[in-house]
Amino acid sequence: MSVPYGYLVGLLLFVVAAVRLPRLPMGPGTAVFLATIAVLELPFLAVAVFAASTALAYVQGDLTSPVTIVAALVAGSCAVLTLWRGLRAPRVLQDAMGPTLMSTRLPLWRILSMPFAVRPREVERIANLSYGPAGKRNLLDVYRHRSAPQNAPVLIHFHGGFYTMGRKNTQARPLLHRLAARGWVCVSANYRFRPDASLEDHIIDVKRVVAWVRTHGADFGADPERIVLSGSSAGSHMSTMAALNPDQPEYQPGFEHVDTSVSAVVGLGGYWGHYFHRPETDPADLARPDAPPFLIVHGAGDTVADPADARRFADRLRAVSRQPVVHAELPGGQHGFDLFHSPRFEAVVNAVEAFTAAAFTAERSPQRTRRE
């Protein structure tokens, strides 16, 4: 009796994706993330592939041994569990948002028919605009509705990549596309990398983009008074460090007098620890009463960026900030959950829309001025 080793190896991915592993060293943690992300964030497709491969194994007579049958049952249960966890995201996020109501409806037709991040026809991308002196590392893209709305809120996004890799048009695109289609102006920017750049350089790059929006954003329909900083993984860390150091001259060389404060911060699977063995760079140590509102969304099963660091940062900030601090830990979520139109990330985008709308409303309240 032959053993269908290829089939069994494929089943192993469903099991690993469903198991909640501890944070791993960077190499193994990244390997697990890359191996399981498609199963986790394309759950309907993953279940379909599992069903098709199991049917093929059955037709070929490979589902005859007790080991193979048990393996198929375990993997099938894990596939269903993964799908169920993804579909729980709307309720988990709404519970975290508290009184701020968000839509819990998911665009299931889009998730089923086109889960990949393809830019909608109504959204245009204006690519490779320069915002600083560092060549291609200081380029940004603008996403906006083709009708070119005016006085639009702005979302600035910085990609992850361990501060050493990545590019501006690869991550959180479902978020950028959705908001741009709804009338936002979205900016996705490159930034300088290690080892040539330091944390201070990263923060300067973030603030250069904010300054660019303040100076040039109106040319693209942006309202420079409504800016949200967002980031994935390392991008969350640098956005947070910049937002919690508003208007510091040492981080604004040559543009010291530009207002670089922001209306809110959104962290997606962020890294919330210290920067490369520099303990003084822990974002939690910068928690301050006048911090902007924060939305922190993390995968409970993240093997790259420790969920415990996200919880610790949220607790420290919530203890002192006068503004809302929302922290949600997504069941079954891994690192990089912002890549596809998955049930999980569509729910996150719903939360971002509701959270930022509340932040803008509070900011314009007569009881509150921009600088408290």
- In this structure, of 63-67, 147-151, 340-344, the range with the lowest mean pLDDT score is 63-67
pLDDT of residue 335 exceeding 50, the answer is: yes
Q: Is the pLDDT of residue 37 over 80?
A: yes
93 and 79 together in one domain: no
pLDDT recorded at residue 2: 59
Residue 111's domain spans which residues? 89-363
Per-residue pLDDT band for 64 (boundaries 50, 70, 90) equals: confident
Q: Residue 369's pLDDT band (boundaries 50, 70, 90)? A: very low
Please confirm, yes or no, whether 335 is among the known catalytic residues.
Answer: yes
What confidence tier does 368 reach under pLDDT thresholds 50, 70, 90? low
**Region of poorest pLDDT, from 26-35, 202-211, 330-339:** 26-35
Model confidence at 199: pLDDT above 70? yes
User: Active site includes 327?
Assistant: no
β-pair type (139-145, 185-189): antiparallel
- Does 44 score more than 80 pLDDT? yes
Average predicted confidence (pLDDT) for the chain: 94
Catalytic residue among 188, 233, 263, 321: 233
Reference 314, options 226, 261, 236; nearest CA is 236
Q: Would the pLDDT of 367 be above 60?
A: no
- Of 86, 110, 126, which marks where a domain is finished? 86
> How far is the C-alpha of 38 from the C-alpha of 17, rounded, in Å?
9
Q: Kindly state whether residues 102 and 212 are assigned to the same domain.
A: yes
Instruction: Kindly state the tokens that stand for 308.
Output: 């415990």
Q: How far is CA 2 from the centre of its chain?
A: 44
Q: Is residue 351 pLDDT above 70, yes or no?
A: yes
Looking at the structure, tell me whether residues 181 and 314 fall in a common domain.
Answer: yes
pLDDT level of residue 3 (50, 70, 90 thresholds): low
Q: Which two tokens stand for residue 367?
A: 């009881």
**Is 65 known to be catalytic?**
no
Tell me: pLDDT of 4 over 80: no
- For the purposes of burial, counting CB atoms within 10 Å of the CB of 298, is it exposed (0-12), middle (13-18) or buried (19 or more)? buried
148 shares its domain with 195: yes
The verdict on residue 18 lying in a domain is: yes
Structure tokens at 354: 């509701």
On whether residue 306 sits in a domain, the answer given is yes
> Is the same domain home to 29 and 112?
no
Asked if residue 369 is part of any domain, the answer here is: no
In a domain, 349, yes or no: yes
Q: Choosing from 335, 338, 341, 342, which is the catalytic residue?
A: 335
68/98 same-domain check: no
Kindly state whether residue 55 falls inside one of the protein's structural domains: yes
Mean pLDDT value across residues 95-103: 97
Residue 364: predicted pLDDT: 78
Q: What is the pTM of this model?
A: 0.94
In a domain, residue 132? The reply is yes
What local confidence, expressed as pLDDT, does residue 371 receive? 43
Backbone φ, ψ for residue 143 (5° rounding): -110, 130
Contacts of 231 (CB under 8 A, 6+ apart): 157, 158, 159, 160, 237, 238, 239, 240, 266, 267, 268, 270
26 and 9 both lie in a single domain: yes
CATH code for position 203: 3.40.50.1820
Active-site hit among 302, 306, 309, 338: 302
Greater model confidence, 57 or 253: 253
The answer on pLDDT for 66 being more than 90 is no
Domain membership flag for residue 168: yes
DSSP string, 125-156: EEEEEE-SSSGGGGEEEEEEETT--SSEEEEE
Residues 62 and 170 in one domain: no
Report pLDDT digits (tens) over 227-258. Answer: 999 999 999 999 999 999 988 999 999 999 99
Cβ neighbour number for residue 166 with a 10 Å cutoff: 19
Same domain? 62 vs 103: no
What's the confidence (pLDDT) of residue 370?
44
The number of domains in the chain is: 2
As a dihedral over the C-alpha atoms of residue 295, residue 296, residue 299, residue 305, rounded to 10 degrees, the angle is 150
272-314 pLDDT, tens digit each: 999 998 999 999 999 999 999 999 999 999 999 999 999 999 9
Q: How confident is the model at residue 366 (pLDDT cuts 50, 70, 90)?
A: low
104: which 2 tokens? 């819990």
Q: Are residues 80 and 100 in the same domain?
A: no
Quick one: 183 and 329 in the same domain?
yes
Query: Same domain for 95 and 107?
Result: yes
DSSP E strands in the chain: the ranges are 123-130, 139-145, 152-158, 185-189, 222-232, 264-268, 294-299, 325-330
pLDDT confidence of residue 346: 98
Q: Within a domain: residue 371?
A: no
pLDDT digits (tens, 9 = 90+) for 107-127: 999 999 999 999 999 999 999
DSSP state of 35: H
Identify the CA nearest to 142 among candidates 114, 116, 179, 110: 179
